[in-house]
Amino acid sequence: MESRIRLLFLIVPALALGLSGCAATKNLLGMGDESAPPPTAEEPGQVIEPEVERREVREADIDTENFEVGAFAGIMSIEDFESDLVYGIRLAYHVTEGFFVEGTVGQSEAGLTSFERLSGGAPILSDDDRTFTYYNLNLGYNILPGEVFFGENRAYNSTLYLIAGLGSTRFAGDDRFTVNFGAGYRFLLTDAVALHIDFRDHLFDIDILGEDKTTHNLEAHLGVTVFF
Amino acid sequence: MSERSITTILSTLRSISIGRIGVLLLIASQALFADPAGAADEPATVIVADPYLEMRTGPGVGYPKFHVVDRGEAVAILKRRTDWFLVRSTEGREGWVDRAQLQLTLQPSGEPVEFTAPGLADFTNSRWEAGVLAGDFGGANILSVYGAYSLNPHVGIEVWGSQILGNFSNGWMASLNVIHETWPDWRISPFFTLGTGVIHTEPKSTIVQGEDRTDQVAHVGAGVRMYATQRFLLRAEYKSYVVFTSRDDNEEVEEWKVGFAFFF
């Protein structure tokens, strides 16, 4: 009798365990009736999800156009050495809507001093030393932005800007520490192409004409740049 | 043949050739810039959630507002200049919108758009930095540009190029250094630096004696980076250089510089 009861006690839990075990296995394998939603409800969910993902707006994916590159040509007046053609290239990075940093490289050719012309004697500088090459790194600030109008139907963006910076000028056989400042006008033909008019003064010390003095070398140029 | 018919033929020929060139360019550009995903080429679209979105003619507060997009309408974001975005409305108008306004739009999924304004956190965490400094290098003028890459907020690597313009000699210097910021999250953040490089000096043409030479240098220094505004920072530093000359004694040079930089 006692052994029969014991057997009963063993069989009942064993059956219960066995059944629940089977149910758990079914659930694990995804075979359980409750865990599987009807297939018709599942499909629309899968269709919608990728569409949302693809349209997500990410800041990094937007094309930025903060760089401006271009070329310029104009006239440079080299103090004591006449005026001549100047040409060069410019690269700018627009940091904010107001400020930009700019690097320019330019070249011109110095003419004769009035002394050389009047005396007719030996030239003060060799031809190589007459080449005037400069670079400078500037900080610029856009002022007076606005629109200009051509006739009734055309409007263009434009802005004036001020620049100031430091650089070096190779002239008369030496590199000379140069301070330059100036102003310019940027005329945007499109959002990405601009025309420039620039006026700049390059100041450096020179002593080749007998005294140590600071010279002003004025430059006016026209340029074209492209934003990228 | 009349003059008129000749011009007609010429213009037809021209339009044919232009059309053909156009088609060729189109094919070439598609071949070059073909994107297997395809969908990535479409500009990102956002929905106006504020009462309206103002479009300006140019990327700046000085340019006039010329159009308003109403709430609920979609705009496509075409490109960006500094903190301004060129957007196109569904009716095809294009104008510039500033970040603050675009921040208030929604993605098609209904989530807000996240365009973060550069701030003090970026000053600490941004990876790249570039700047210009000028100052005094042992009595001569020095003009330097540098680019920096941060390995983490505390440690970065910098590459420098400098031109030295003195009364008696000119030259250039290129150097590489490690920078360590102890408190990078401070608005005025002190740093220490250690590096090496090469210096090239050439005596001025008016000085007869002396010849060009290139020597190795090593330096230690300290300074501060100060967050100014938006992406700008100011920087001031002192460096002490040892120039390993080929003569009996090494040369020591002190350098002071100030300048500005920006992070991106």
Nearest to A57 among B39, B113, B165 (CB): B113
Are A109 and A78 within 8 A, CB to CB?
Answer: no
- Fill in the amino acid letter for B230: Q
| pLDDT reading at B244 higher than 50 | yes
Nearest to A95 among B77, B114, B262 (CB): B262
**B231 with A96: Cβ contact below 8 A:** yes
Chain A and chain B share a number of CB contacts under 8 A equal to 114
Task: Give the model's pLDDT for residue B24.
Answer: 47
For residue A115, the Cα-to-chain-centroid distance in whole angstroms is: 47
pTM summary value: 0.73
In the structure, what pLDDT confidence band is assigned to residue B32 with cuts at 50, 70 and 90? very low
Least Cα separation, residue B62 to chain A (angstroms): 5
Q: Which residues of A touch B79 (CB under 8 A)?
A: 62-65, 191
Q: What is the mean pLDDT of residues B188-202?
A: 94
SS3 content of chain B, % helix, strand, coil (to 5): 15, 50, 30
Mean pLDDT computed over every residue of chain A:
81
Say if B132 is an interface residue toward chain A (CB within 8 Å). yes
The CATH code of domain B40-102 reads 2.30.30.40
Least Cα separation, residue A99 to chain B (angstroms): 10
Predicted complex ipTM exceeds 0.90: no
Nearest to B167 by CA among A205, A203, A210, A78: A205
**A contact set with B (CB within 8 A):** 52, 54-59, 61-66, 94-99, 101, 137, 139, 142, 144-147, 155, 157, 159, 165-168, 172-177, 188, 191, 207, 227
Domain range annotation of chain B: 40-102, 122-263
In the structure, what pLDDT confidence band is assigned to residue B208 with cuts at 50, 70 and 90? low
Can you tell me the distance from the alpha carbon of B74 to that of B87, in angstroms, rounded to the nearest whole number?
10
Cα-flanking dihedrals φ and ψ of residue B151, to 5°? -80, -35
**B82 with A97: Cβ contact below 8 A:** yes
Least Cα separation, residue B32 to chain A (angstroms): 18
Residues A143-186 have pLDDT tens digits of 989 899 988 888 899 999 999 999 999 998 888 999 999 999 99
Segment 181-220 of chain B within 8 Å of chain A by CB = 204-206
Task: Give the model's pLDDT for residue B38.
Answer: 41
Share of chain B above pLDDT 70, in %: 82
The CATH code of domain B122-263 reads 2.40.160.20
Report the range out of A31-35, A221-225, B59-63, B181-185 with the highest average pLDDT. A221-225
